[in-house]
Amino acid sequence: MATAVTLPPVSNQEDWTETIQVFDEDGIGLNMSAVTALTLVVWDPDNDSEKLRLALNSGITITDSSVGVITISAAVGTMQSFIAKNYAFRLGMVNGGVTKDLILPGILPIEDGGP
């Protein structure tokens, strides 16, 4: 079920807010009404070091559970720890007691926002 996704670039000098829609195997917006957990992990692919971990109601919000729309948010203070490069990420969920990857592999491009 996991899908490869490259998100739009974000500056390391701004808050990161991204709204995405997740689809099922048939290309229909995923019903997330039974989702009890969502986790987004961002890591540096050069050394496998974790850079960011967000969870449901702690950086991830289900915006429309009927069609799989979620919003991801991280404050500028968190984003400032990223150097400019492409980072890998994984978005996983627990839905009805079953753990699944929704996005893997994911790419998050970070751009240098300057001093």
Give per-residue pLDDT as tens, 46-102.
999 999 999 999 999 999 999 999 999 999 999 999 999 999 999 999 998 999 999
Classify each residue of 23-33 as buried b or exposed e, where b means 16 or more C-beta atoms within 10 Å of its C-beta.
eeeeeeebebe
Structural domains of the chain in order of their starting residue, each with its CATH number = 3-111 (2.60.40.1930)
pLDDT reported for residue 2: 80
pLDDT reported for residue 1: 60
Question: What's this model's pTM, rounded to 2 decimal places?
Answer: 0.92
Choose among 72, 93, 96: nearest CA to 1: 93
C-alpha 11/C-alpha 76 separation (Å) is: 9
pLDDT reported for residue 35: 96
C-alpha 106/C-alpha 65 separation (Å) is: 21
